[in-house]
Structure 1
């Protein structure tokens, strides 16, 4: 009796230890899953922030492009004005040439008259003309002709001075217009250079942000894979916990009531020594060598089902295998010796409801 109590105590202790280990693993996996979800959320926020920055940069670039277009139009308009002004300047230069020729010709006429006065003693001629007049009326007429001749020379001199003044005024106006247009063109060119530089900087910033966006997107893909991995691990550990609880629950004192699905299957046996420690549902059969567990074809017996096996007892369908197809099962044994002892046989099973 005392020995039986000890065995029951040891059994319960093992159950508690195994359950504690499974719970600890499950808790650790849940924490990992939570951390991965938080990291994924942070990356999603970072990606959203980068995307907003990209949109802002694009808006700034559109605004800059508008300014650049307007500045180029103003620069083109200034170029047209410069071209028109150059045409006026060329016309003005041609007018200056005409004035210069007129001045040159007038100088020639005046020079010839001076020479003629010197050669012909013009003053004596004028006096003789006056003295030879036949009457007072003739004298007045002759004096008027002489005055007209002299006034013509004076008008030539006045026109000469006016044309020289006009030439100087035209030169100043040309210089002024050329200077104004040069300044305007220079300012527009500087503004254009600044706009182009700003546009280039924004383009560089956009490239950097797009690269960062792509990097974060790749990181999110990696984290998403980790999340799926962690979720699968949590599901496996939850399945293992359920399977452990079912496998370690007290067996019914008698054969199960015929409330489940009965069938006959071909059975073999295996242990952790021949197939590995962890089953398809995440149960470690090396750490739990006495667990009641069978490998099944999930299309025939769903994973996680409780199954009564003739000569074995109630087990959990917690594993699969490449050779387990159709109405076949593989029962878990503590070691290879027990597995060999089981051999290969046909048994009745009941999938319990």
Structure 2
């Protein structure tokens, strides 16, 4: 029959083993965190910039309505991604555009129309926006009317 001294000895040995295993676990967790940071920083630093080839497209313009009688766009001036076009037609320094659903939101584009290059970001959709048709957000009806319907080219730049 074991005595109290041997139980105490076994308990001390087990406590030492537990402490050693906890230390190893803590070291491994630190190593995992270090590797995660290294992996995420290498993804950020080494991810190639995507730049697709130029494609032809058709470009129109839209604007936030100034009153309820105007049906310039659905959403009363709010894009599908929640941008308020009454305040600004840009996001992150890029012109807001409505693009076909095949192009994901927040994709950055270069659009060239009549020799002018527009750096744009996809933040909206539209019922007639399909294929290679894009709708560029402008500040008012006059600007949108002056822009009209134009042919040009576009490419993804991010």
Task: Tell me the secondary structure at the aligned position of residue 338 of structure 1.
Answer: helix
Residue matched to 1:293:
96
Between structures 1 and 2, the one with greater strand share: 2
5+ long unaligned stretches in structure 1: 1-256
Between structures 1 and 2, the one with greater helix share: 1
- Give the Cα separation in 1 of the matches to 2:143 and 2:117: 12
Task: Tell me the secondary structure at the aligned position of residue 272 of structure 1.
Answer: coil
Residue matched to 1:272:
64
Residue matched to 1:329:
134
What is the aligned residue count?
A: 96
- Give the Cα separation in 2 of the matches to 1:312 and 1:295: 17
Between 1 and 2, higher relative CO (CA 8 Å, sep ≥ 6) is seen in 2
Residue matched to 1:317:
122
Contact kept in structure 1, 2:90 and 2:96, CA below 8 Å = no
Q: Output the TM-score relative to the length of structure 1.
A: 0.26
**Structure 1 residues 330 and 317, CA gap change in structure 2 (3 angstroms):** same
Q: What does residue range 52-131 of structure 1 map to in structure 2 within 5 Å? A: none
Residue matched to 1:108:
none
- Give the Cα separation in 1 of the matches to 2:117 and 2:144: 12
- Give the Cα separation in 2 of the matches to 1:312 and 1:293: 14
RMSD value, Cα: 2.0
Task: Tell me the secondary structure at the aligned position of residue 288 of structure 1.
Answer: coil
**Structure 1 residues 279 and 312, CA gap change in structure 2 (3 angstroms):** farther
Contact kept in structure 2, 1:297 and 1:324, CA below 8 Å = yes
Residue matched to 2:42:
none
Residue matched to 1:73:
none
- Write out the 4+ residue segments of structure 1 that deviate beyond 4 Å after TM superposition: none
- Give the Cα separation in 2 of the matches to 1:289 and 1:266: 19
Contact kept in structure 2, 1:261 and 1:352, CA below 8 Å = no
- Give the Cα separation in 1 of the matches to 2:80 and 2:154: 21
